[in-house]
Amino acid sequence: MTLPALLVVAAALFGIGVYGALSQQTFVMIMMGLELMLNGAMLAAVALWAMSTAGSPKGQLLTVIILTVMAVEAALGFALVIGIYRIRKADMTEKLKRLRA
């Protein structure tokens, strides 16, 4: 378990997340892609904290902030999906050609 190996795993998670967020048509699947990107970022943050900062608690604090971002993204994502579904009956990006209801 070396730092480059950890960062490669994190990069793989981030790359898969980029692919998913750009390619998927369903809103919730796009959110999954975003979460995977944050997952990779979090793994990289923890790996750097454990391997290169001599255990500074600020590194763990950064991870807590990433967790907060994840929660905010999920909550607002679900709320937007519900709001869009109420007005448009849409669950895919292709059904939203205009933003105006």
Neighbours of 91 (CB within 10 A): 13
* 57 lines the binding site for another protein (CB under 8 A): yes
* 95 lines the binding site for another protein (CB under 8 A): no
SS3 75: helix
* 68 lines the binding site for another protein (CB under 8 A): yes
Q: Which of 17, 96, 97, 99 binds another protein (CB under 8 A)?
A: 17
CB of 19 to another protein, least distance (A): 3
* 28 lines the binding site for another protein (CB under 8 A): yes
* 1 lines the binding site for another protein (CB under 8 A): yes
Sequential DSSP letters for 42-68: HHHHHHHHHHHSTT-HHHHHHHHHHHH
- How many residues bind another protein, per CB under 8 A? 77
CA angle 35, 40, 44 (to 5 degrees): 145
